[in-house]
């Protein structure tokens, strides 16, 4: 656990040191739950968004894009259910006056039981060695079985309390499990109550509640209200999808774990409109497609898993998360939801406008069903950063070993694709040649020029930001127009012609390497 916390701290410190992510308004001691992306962070985040956009929109004939306004007519949020039901259960500790999400307190309790099971399994591995059968052990070991049953029963009670909106049952669960305030250790809790997560503001020219506006808590509603506009203007037939990337805002009770849970964040959402009755087929298909999207970046399968929801949101008839093994454990990275016809029907009712599709095959009008895929760009950023952060030993120039920190980012995501390094900065002919090469390469991809410090230290700086290639210009370059190209992962250095650099780099950073897998 300490090791894991250590990794998380290192990732956060690395992000700041190398210009990926800073605390927002840091000079004023920061604003909780908000972060700023630095020069390399914005490149990495843009690459993540480009990967999503290309694979969802460009690679699908029947998915089109949208960029809807953040502010929407306030009735939108009444219709969608957010005004009445977009709540988190809130509980205050009487010991520290700190606020917690009641469901998260219970989930953390369950995670501790899961850790105990894993400890039992580790003991089993030690005891039985090569003959160890993990599945059998989990099903038969007395303690492991007891823990698993306890977990299941707590999860079922939590799910029921949330589905029934029964805050009393949630409080009873916390008291029964003797959950203590992590800050003060107190077991004295207030009643659990619902807390609406939407931020509100006011239109300048209308006084009172009529002018009350909300900052959108999800991008999806901008898609629903534009369903007919897009379908008609783009002449789409079912099934078809609308994709959008944009900011969302939630007044999270506890915004923590760095960019995992923020109050202002960015979502990448796609609503796929289908014929009623076919939604489960599409739900399964999108689960598979989205998992492949993550795996194509080289994220190991064991760090990704599905988690089916026990408690369904008010609009869904099936829902699953893709969870990622963050430095603080498996947590939701993306949601795939079968949202039925709930949203379109609600908007029909509240707006008085029909939001239906005329099916020429059956000569009928109907409200389509919707399967949604929704992923946070910031959460994806954290998953990518923590998965790629590596400390390893590598051979040094003197035949010994050195430790390097390297971001093993997939080359399509790397903020800088290629560093151009003159061997010596005090040799004007090397510097001039390096700059000529740089000025050509920067038409094709983002490059960085660096002449400061010994070449080894410059390589380390590029490793730390995940640059896949370093090009070194030395005296041979002046003779024969060749350079050394160093591969970030293999550390191999080969000599190639200047005219070959762009194609070698382009092959590795091509979107073809990750799209259509």
CA nearest to 421, candidates 442, 397, 452: 452
When the beta carbons of 35 and 137 are compared against ligand GAP, the nearer one is 35
Stretch of 174-182, 259-267, 346-354, 445-453 contacting ligand GAP, by CB under 6 A = 259-267
Q: Which residues contact 361 (CB under 8 A, 6 or more apart)?
A: none
Stretch of 64-72, 79-87, 373-381, 494-502 contacting ligand GAP, by CB under 6 A = 373-381
Stretch of 39-47, 173-181, 257-265, 426-434 contacting ligand GAP, by CB under 6 A = 257-265
Residue of closest CB approach to ligand GAP: 376
Rounded to whole angstroms, how far apart are CA atoms 335 and 362?
Answer: 32
What is the secondary structure of 51-63 as a DSSP string? HHHIIIIIT-TTE
When the beta carbons of 143 and 256 are compared against ligand GAP, the nearer one is 256
Stretch of 56-64, 76-84, 361-369, 376-384 contacting ligand GAP, by CB under 6 A = 376-384
Stretch of 38-46, 102-110, 285-293, 328-336 contacting ligand GAP, by CB under 6 A = 328-336
DSSP 48: H
Least gap, CB of 379 to ligand GAP (angstroms) = 4
Least gap, CB of 371 to ligand GAP (angstroms) = 12
Q: Does 347 bind ligand GAP (CB under 6 A)?
A: no
Least gap, CB of 338 to ligand GAP (angstroms) = 12
Q: Does 265 bind ligand GAP (CB under 6 A)?
A: yes
Q: Which of 14, 82, 216, 250 binds ligand GAP (CB under 6 A)?
A: 250
> Is residue 265 within 8 Å of residue 376, measured between CB atoms?
yes
Least gap, CB of 218 to ligand GAP (angstroms) = 4
Least gap, CB of 242 to ligand GAP (angstroms) = 13
Rounded to whole angstroms, how far apart are CA atoms 372 and 413?
Answer: 25
Rounded to whole angstroms, how far apart are CA atoms 447 and 417?
Answer: 6
Place of tokens 């039985």: 128
Scanning 365-444, the segments in alpha helix (DSSP H) are 377-388, 428-441
When the beta carbons of 91 and 383 are compared against ligand GAP, the nearer one is 383
SS (H, E, C) 101-166: EHHHHHHHHHHHHHHHHHHHHHHHHHHHHHHCCHHHHHHHCHHHHHHHHHHHHHHHHHHHHHHCCC
Q: Does 374 bind ligand GAP (CB under 6 A)?
A: yes
Rounded to whole angstroms, how far apart are CA atoms 422 and 386?
Answer: 31
The two tokens of residue 496 are: 């190639």
- Residues in contact with ligand GAP by CB under 6 A are 218, 220, 250, 252, 261-262, 265, 267, 269, 332-335, 372, 374-376, 378-379
């Amino acid at each position: 656990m300490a090791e894991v916390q250590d990794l998380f701290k290192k990732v956060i410190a690395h992000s700041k040191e190398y210009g990926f992510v800073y605390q927002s308004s840091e000079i004023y001691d920061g604003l909780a739950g908000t972060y700023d992306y630095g020069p390399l962070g914005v490149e990495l985040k843009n690459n993540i968004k480009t990967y999503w956009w290309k694979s969802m929109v460009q690679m699908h004939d029947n998915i089109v894009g949208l960029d809807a306004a953040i502010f929407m007519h306030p009735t939108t949020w009444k219709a969608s259910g957010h005004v009445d039901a977009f709540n988190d259960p809130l509980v205050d500790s009487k010991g520290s006056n700190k606020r917690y999400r009641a469901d998260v307190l219970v989930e953390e309790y369950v995670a501790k039981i899961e850790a105990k099971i894993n400890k039992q399994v580790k003991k089993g591995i030690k005891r039985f060695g090569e003959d160890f059968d993990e599945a059998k052990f989990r099903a038969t070991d007395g303690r492991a079985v007891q823990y698993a049953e306890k977990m299941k029963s707590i999860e079922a009670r939590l799910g029921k309390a949330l589905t029934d909106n029964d805050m009393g049952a949630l409080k009873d669960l916390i008291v029964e499990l003797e959950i203590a305030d992590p800050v003060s250790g107190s077991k004295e809790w207030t009643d659990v109550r619902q807390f609406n997560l939407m931020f509100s503001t006011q239109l300048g020219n209308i006084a009172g509640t009529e002018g009350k506006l909300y900052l959108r808590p999800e991008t999806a509603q901008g898609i629903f209200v534009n369903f007919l506009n897009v379908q008609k203007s783009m002449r789409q037939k079912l099934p078809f999808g609308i994709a959008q990337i944009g900011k969302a805002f939630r007044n999270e009770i506890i915004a923590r774990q760095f960019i995992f849970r923020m109050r202002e964040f960015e979502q990448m959402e796609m609503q796929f409109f289908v014929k009623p009755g076919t939604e489960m087929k599409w739900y399964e298909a999108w689960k598979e497609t989205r998992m492949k999207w993550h795996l194509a970046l080289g994220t190991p399968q064991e760090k990704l898993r599905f988690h089916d929801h026990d408690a369904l949101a008010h609009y869904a008839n099936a829902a699953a998360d893709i969870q990622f093994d963050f430095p603080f454990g498996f947590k939701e990275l993306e949601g795939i939801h079968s949202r039925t016809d709930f949203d379109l029907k609600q908007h029909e009712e509240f707006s008085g406008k029909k939001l239906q599709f005329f099916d020429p095959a059956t000569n009928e009008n109907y409200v389509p069903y919707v399967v949604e895929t929704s992923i946070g760009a910031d959460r994806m950023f954290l998953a990518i950063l923590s998965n790629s952060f590596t400390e390893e030993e590598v051979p040094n120039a003197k035949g010994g070993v050195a430790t390097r920190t390297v971001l093993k980012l997939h080359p399509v995501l790397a903020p800088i694709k290629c560093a151009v390094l003159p061997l010596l900065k005090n040799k004007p002919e090397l510097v001039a040649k390096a700059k000529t090469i740089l000025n050509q390469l920067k038409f094709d991809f983002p490059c960085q020029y660096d002449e400061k410090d010994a070449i080894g230290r410059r390589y380390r700086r590029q490793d730390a930001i995940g640059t896949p290639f370093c090009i070194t210009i030395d005296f041979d370059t002046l003779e024969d127009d060749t350079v050394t190209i160093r591969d970030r992962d293999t550390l191999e250095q080969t000599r190639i012609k200047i005219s070959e650099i762009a194609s070698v780099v382009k092959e590795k950073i091509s979107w073809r390497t990750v799209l259509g897998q």
